[in-house]
Every structure is written in C-alpha cells, then in structure tokens.
C-alpha cells in the first residue's frame, strides 16, 4: 500500500497569483499523477510526473500553467500559475503500487487527501 500526504490541504488565493502543492509518498514510486476535480465534476488527469524527466501533460493542460517538479522518488510538486477563478478545484496526487499478493500482477491506485483551492 501507499500513504500519500498533500500540503496544503486547502487554500484561498487571489487571481493572478500562483500556488504550489506538495505531494509526499511513503514509498518510492516511478510515476506520480496529478488530477483535478472541478466542482461537481469527475477527476481529470493533468499530468504524469516521472523522476528524472519532464512531466507528461494531458490534452488541455500545459507546462506553463501547471509546472511540475519531481526531485526524487517520493516527492512531487504541482504549481497552479497565474490563477483564475476557473482554477478553483480539488487537486489530487496519486500513485500506483503493485499488489504482490493477489497473484494477478495487478496494481492498485492510491490517492492523496486532495488540496482544495479556491481562487477569488
């Protein structure tokens, strides 16, 4: 299993500013994933953060708006830049861990508690 923590848990920010969200995992993982959950909507993958290489962004998300750092195998940050009210969301960090005892070679996805961002 994996235990994921995020900081901050919530914040209220003014438009035009930036916020950096931290994600810490208690195990070493190759990939860390950042999701966004806008009010009343489902989770949408923003990007995949790989240690030692550039993050891979999904369609509709760009590095200038959501720069990501991945300095080691247990930590990542996501910055929401030049914020607008449309960026008000819950941002979640996620990892996959191999389920070694299920005999299926499968992985389980774990999520952080989320960072609730409100942009005024």
Return residues touching other proteins (CB under 8 A). Answer: 31, 33, 41-45, 48, 58, 92, 94, 96, 102, 104, 106-114
Six token digits for residue 96: 């996959």
Question: Closer CB to other proteins, residue 17 or residue 30?
Answer: 30
CB of 87 to other proteins, least distance (A): 19
How far, CA to CA in Å, does 13 sit from each of 27, 85, 108? 31, 9, 33
Compute the least distance from the CB of residue 113 to other proteins, in Å: 5
How far apart are CB 43 and other proteins at their closest, in Å? 5
Q: Which is nearer to other proteins, 78 or 112 (CB)?
A: 112
* Long-range CB contacts (within 8 A, 24+) of 48-55: 49/76, 49/78
Please tell me the distance from the alpha carbon of residue 23 to that of residue 32, in angstroms, as a whole number. 9
Cβ closest to other proteins, residue 75 vs residue 111: 111
**First and final C-alpha spacing in the chain:** 37
Nearest distance from C-beta of residue 58 to other proteins, angstroms: 8
Q: Which H or E element spans position 83? A: none
CB-nearer residue toward other proteins: 18 or 109: 109
């Amino acid at each position: 299993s994996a235990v994921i923590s995020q900081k901050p848990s919530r914040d209220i920010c003014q438009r035009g500013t930036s916020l950096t969200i931290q994600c810490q995992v208690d195990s070493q993982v190759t990939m860390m994933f950042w999701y966004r959950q806008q009010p009343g909507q489902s989770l949408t993958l923003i990007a995949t953060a790989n240690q030692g290489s550039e993050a891979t962004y999904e369609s509709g998300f760009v590095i200038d708006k959501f720069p990501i750092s991945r300095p080691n195998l247990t930590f990542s940050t996501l910055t929401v830049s030049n914020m607008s009210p449309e960026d008000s969301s819950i941002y979640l960090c996620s990892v996959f861990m191999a389920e070694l005892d299920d005999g299926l070679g499968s992985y389980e996805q774990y999520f952080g508690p989320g960072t609730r961002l409100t942009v005024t």
